[in-house]
Amino acid sequence: MRRSPRPVGLAGIAVTLAALALSAQQAPTDTQSLPRFRGGANLVRVDAYVSADGQPVTGLTVDDFEVLEDDQPQKVENFEFIDARNPQTISTAPTPTSTRDQANAADDSAARVFVLFLDAWHISIDGSARSAAMISTFLDKVVGPNDLVGIMTPDMSAQNITLVKRGDGLDRLMRDAWSWGQRDRVTTADPRESEIRACYPDIGRTADIAEELIGRRREQKTLRAVDALTAHLGQIREDRKFVVLLSEGWMQYGVSNTLARPLDNAGVPGGSVPVGVGTSGRLETSPQQDATFESCERERVMLAYIDNEREVRQMAQRANRANVTFYTIDPRGLVVFDTSIGGPAMQSPQQDREGLERRREGLRLLADQTDGAWSFNTNDTGNALARMTVDTGSYYLLSYYSSNAKPDGRFRRLTVRVKRENVDVRARPGYLAPTETEARAAGANLMTTSTVGVTRPAVSPAVSRALGSIPSGRSTAIRIQAAGLAERIRVVVELDPATLKEPEWQSGGTLQVIIESERGGPQKARAIEITPGQRSVIVDGPDEDLAPGRYFVRVEGRGQGGGPMLRASTDATVGATGSRIGSGVSAFRRGPTTGLAYQPTADPRFRRTERLRAELPLLAEGEVTISARILTREGQPLPLQVSTNTRADDEHGVRYVVADVTLAPLAQGDYVLEVAAGPESATFGFRIIP
């Protein structure tokens, strides 16, 4: 292994990339091109990679292609052949120096976008050392002069990726930064791992807990980072993006009741009465250690219920929709043992082989499902790089105006065909059409004009947030909604009707509502019994007053007959400074299934046969002018009467603005109820369903 006298750490990679970009000369401003966005003005771009017998097919014309959107033929308006490795013109523009410059550069159809994802938490030091030569070959053989390249690690934010040109020092940087692998290090750059090991010593009842928690925590960090990268790349560019993922693989942890088992805190070092050496040199208890153990316990329970195998599958689906292709490579090359010989995690040969194969399953699936390639168990990575050269070297760029002008936010399926035999065509599987809100937000001057020539402003952020809070799924086992008051939080928990019909819930169940400040500290918990057939409940809590600030609210529920634990979470702000109203509203419904009584609800789906009531907390004393109205998705008020009044909750000392509306006049679709108290208002998004 080659040793560098001064290795560069993970943080140094990001800092150095940023410095490279900032040191470049500012590029001249180009002429503003026609505004383009996903579905905006119905303009769609499709990049088609055509090959035969493993070689790219050139010389095709627009008449050779057929493009269908949801099986409907589309007329190609623009056609272009891109030879990325041998461009006819080489851009002289320097590396982009700002986020806006990077977005403009990435939008250039002649430039491809590559991201090297260095999965540091799942790569050994040996693997990171071997990566240097591999990355150098990739930059030399795959990346063209007009292309942009970025580097990301699991500890970076996707928004902080710096895209640079091939010759801007990346090769030298990666040769110097050879020691970034963290998988087999005894001490790592994450201090939280030391806290976890202190919470769960590798003895007695806590044996093996720390190592499994650390493994699950690392895997969760990596998968979340990869998913965030996919979303970010989908936003900056419609054309295909390429991610070269260097990793030794993931275990794809699932639910573990063994890991989630209750522990006897009194018998656990660092438990309810932790003992240690204090600053005086004497043995003493430490409240801070106790707080650390509580946080370890919360993380242990949370990580015990993850399902990363499902997450990887969903991640591949989202990457497909964002038009992101993954090339996954194990940089170790030919591997005999997955774990270090003599190391603390050494396993039997059979266990080691099974673990190695399991680690590769996720990487293989991610590459296969996104039309990429994978390279495992070989010292010849040239095959993977050769596949990338063929895959990405040249392509056809087709643009068309969609015949479906409806901004419905739905996924549009794309099919690209070539009128030649024995050719392979790879293209993006589809795109997400914009909603009306997104279309206006991305349109020119953020304005729209009606058929009578009246100009309307863009949708307000409050309306957009309300609409965005409406879940896209049809059914959720348990839902939660929270509104912040002056010194407490009002929580509405609702079970889905299908859940109540399950055998384990037919005798009722128990809900645990947990409130925790974002600043940390002890949790506030309250248990609620659910009677047979009871669908929803309101919880005002906790018993003691809460300090102003943002709080996380979590609910856990289990039926009397057992079954899986149901979970949901949200957040709420208590006592916002200077505000006369609470943060959020509580919703109620009345209809054929509820009789004359209003039932609390956390489900924003309503039928036209129901009434909707919303209660907004008033934090200020005295008289206040109140009003309410129904808004469309565009933020336009409807001529629908909403009755308003106030009521006092003497038990908790709170006043509420009450808004009540009959939903019969509304058609199917999404709406917003706006409730105002003086100059301040709150919004609630809801959906009318059949």
My answer on whether 17 and 121 are in the same domain is yes
Please list the alpha-helical segments (H only) found in 530-580.
Answer: none
Residue 245, strand partner residues:
117, 328
For residue 120, pLDDT beyond 80 = yes
Give, in order, the Cα–Cα distances in Å from 285 to each of 279, 567, 669.
11, 34, 59
159-218 per-position pLDDT tens digit: 888 888 765 566 666 666 667 788 888 777 788 888 898 899 988 888 889 999 999 999
**Is the backbone of residue 127 left (phi > 0), alpha (psi -120 to 50) or beta?**
alpha
My answer on whether 250 and 119 are in the same domain is yes
My answer on whether 102 and 174 are in the same domain is yes
User: Using CA atoms, how far apart are residues 446 and 441, in angstroms rounded to an integer?
Assistant: 5
Predicted local confidence at residue 418, as pLDDT = 92
Contact yes or no for 541/492 (Cβ under 8 A): no
- In this structure, the strands spanning 324-329 and 373-375 are parallel
Sheet holding 611-618, edge to edge: 599-601, 586-590, 611-618, 654-662, 643-649
Mean pLDDT of 139-158: 84
Predicted local confidence at residue 587, as pLDDT = 94
My answer on whether 292 and 363 are in the same domain is no
Predicted local confidence at residue 662, as pLDDT = 92
Contact yes or no for 181/130 (Cβ under 8 A): no
536-567 per-position pLDDT tens digit: 999 988 888 888 888 888 899 888 888 788 88
505-516 per-position pLDDT tens digit: 888 899 999 998
| Residue with tokens 């006092």, as numbered in its chain | 648
Range in 171-175, 286-290, 686-690 the model is least confident about: 286-290
Instruction: Judge whether 208 lies within some domain.
Output: no
**Percent of the chain beyond pLDDT 70?**
76
Band of residue 384 on the pLDDT scale cut at 50, 70, 90: low
Range 145-148 contact pairs with CB under 8 angstroms and sequence separation of 24 or more? 145/87, 145/90, 145/91, 146/84, 146/87, 146/90, 146/91, 146/108, 146/110, 146/111, 146/112, 147/84, 147/111, 147/112, 147/113, 147/114, 148/96, 148/102, 148/105, 148/106, 148/111, 148/112, 148/113, 148/114
Instruction: Judge whether 553 lies within some domain.
Output: yes
User: Using CA atoms, how far apart are residues 503 and 518, in angstroms rounded to an integer?
Assistant: 37
Predicted local confidence at residue 84, as pLDDT = 66
CA-wise closest residue to 359 among 347, 371, 344, 370: 347
Domain boundary among 553, 577, 601: 577
On the question of a cis peptide bond just before residue 542, with omega within 30 degrees of 0, the verdict is yes
Band of residue 287 on the pLDDT scale cut at 50, 70, 90: very low
My answer on whether 386 and 289 are in the same domain is no
My answer on whether 231 and 120 are in the same domain is yes
Contact yes or no for 163/106 (Cβ under 8 A): yes
Predicted local confidence at residue 630, as pLDDT = 93
Instruction: Judge whether 631 lies within some domain.
Output: no
For residue 24, pLDDT beyond 50 = no
Predicted local confidence at residue 17, as pLDDT = 44
Between residues 606 and 284, the one the model is more confident about: 606
For residue 528, pLDDT beyond 60 = yes
Domain of 387, CATH number, reads: 3.40.50.410
Predicted local confidence at residue 271, as pLDDT = 47
Between residues 112 and 286, the one the model is more confident about: 112
Q: What are the E-state strand segments in 43-103?
A: 43-52, 55-56, 65-69, 72-74, 76-83
Predicted local confidence at residue 347, as pLDDT = 63
Instruction: Judge whether 420 lies within some domain.
Output: no
Cβ atoms within 10 Å, residue 77: 12
Among 6-10, 317-321, 342-346, 407-411, the range of highest mean pLDDT? 317-321
Cβ atoms within 10 Å, residue 528: 18
Q: Hey, is 169 helix, strand or coil?
A: coil
Domain of 491, CATH number, reads: 2.60.40.2550
Residue 211 tokens read as 């190592």
Domain boundary among 550, 577, 604: 577
Exposed, middle or buried: residue 242 (CB in 10 Å: 0-12, 13-18, 19+)?
Answer: buried
Predicted local confidence at residue 351, as pLDDT = 75
Among 369-383, 460-474, 652-666, the range of highest mean pLDDT? 652-666
Contact yes or no for 656/649 (Cβ under 8 A): yes
User: Using CA atoms, how far apart are residues 283 and 596, in angstroms rounded to an integer?
Assistant: 64
Q: How many domains does the chain have?
A: 3
My answer on whether 26 and 157 are in the same domain is yes
Band of residue 336 on the pLDDT scale cut at 50, 70, 90: low
My answer on whether 391 and 474 are in the same domain is no
Degrees to nearest 5, angle at CA 344 with 339 and 345:
40
Predicted local confidence at residue 68, as pLDDT = 93
My answer on whether 145 and 272 are in the same domain is no
Please give the residue range of the domain that contains residue 278: 265-304
User: Using CA atoms, how far apart are residues 503 and 371, in angstroms rounded to an integer?
Assistant: 43
The most distant pair of C-alpha atoms in the chain lies apart, rounded to whole Å, by 85
For residue 102, pLDDT beyond 50 = yes
Per the document, the length of the chain is 690
| Residue with tokens 């399953």, as numbered in its chain | 361
| Residue with tokens 């091109």, as numbered in its chain | 33
Which helix (H) or strand (E) covers residue 593, if one does? none
Contact yes or no for 638/514 (Cβ under 8 A): no
Domain boundary among 552, 577, 602: 577
Instruction: Judge whether 430 lies within some domain.
Output: no
Among 218-227, 339-348, 646-655, the range of highest mean pLDDT? 218-227
**Is the backbone of residue 345 left (phi > 0), alpha (psi -120 to 50) or beta?**
alpha
Mean pLDDT of 21-41: 36
User: Using CA atoms, how far apart are residues 379 and 333, in angstroms rounded to an integer?
Assistant: 4
CA-wise closest residue to 131 among 308, 232, 13: 13
Q: Fill in the DSSP letter of residue 376.
A: -
Predicted local confidence at residue 157, as pLDDT = 84
My answer on whether 128 and 147 are in the same domain is yes
User: Using CA atoms, how far apart are residues 341 and 334, in angstroms rounded to an integer?
Assistant: 16
CA-wise closest residue to 339 among 184, 211, 541: 184
Contact yes or no for 96/27 (Cβ under 8 A): yes
Question: Whole-number mean pLDDT of the chain?
Answer: 78
Range in 225-229, 289-293, 326-330 the model is least confident about: 289-293
User: Using CA atoms, how far apart are residues 158 and 137, in angstroms rounded to an integer?
Assistant: 25
For residue 462, pLDDT beyond 70 = yes
Predicted local confidence at residue 565, as pLDDT = 84
Predicted local confidence at residue 87, as pLDDT = 63
For residue 448, pLDDT beyond 60 = no
Instruction: Judge whether 178 lies within some domain.
Output: yes
Range in 80-89, 495-504, 539-548 the model is least confident about: 80-89
Between residues 519 and 412, the one the model is more confident about: 412
Mean pLDDT of 348-353: 74
Give, in order, the Cα–Cα distances in Å from 204 to each of 200, 212, 273.
10, 15, 18
For residue 611, pLDDT beyond 90 = yes
Instruction: Judge whether 540 lies within some domain.
Output: yes
Q: φ, ψ for residue 497 (rounded to 5)?
A: -55, -35
For residue 75, pLDDT beyond 50 = yes
Give, in order, the Cα–Cα distances in Å from 171 to each of 15, 139, 176, 418.
15, 7, 9, 38
User: Using CA atoms, how far apart are residues 690 and 668, in angstroms rounded to an integer?
Assistant: 7
User: Using CA atoms, how far apart are residues 287 and 544, in angstroms rounded to an integer?
Assistant: 21
For residue 223, pLDDT beyond 90 = yes
My answer on whether 358 and 224 are in the same domain is yes
Instruction: Judge whether 22 lies within some domain.
Output: yes
Among 39-48, 75-84, 194-203, 276-285, the range of highest mean pLDDT? 194-203
My answer on whether 179 and 299 are in the same domain is no
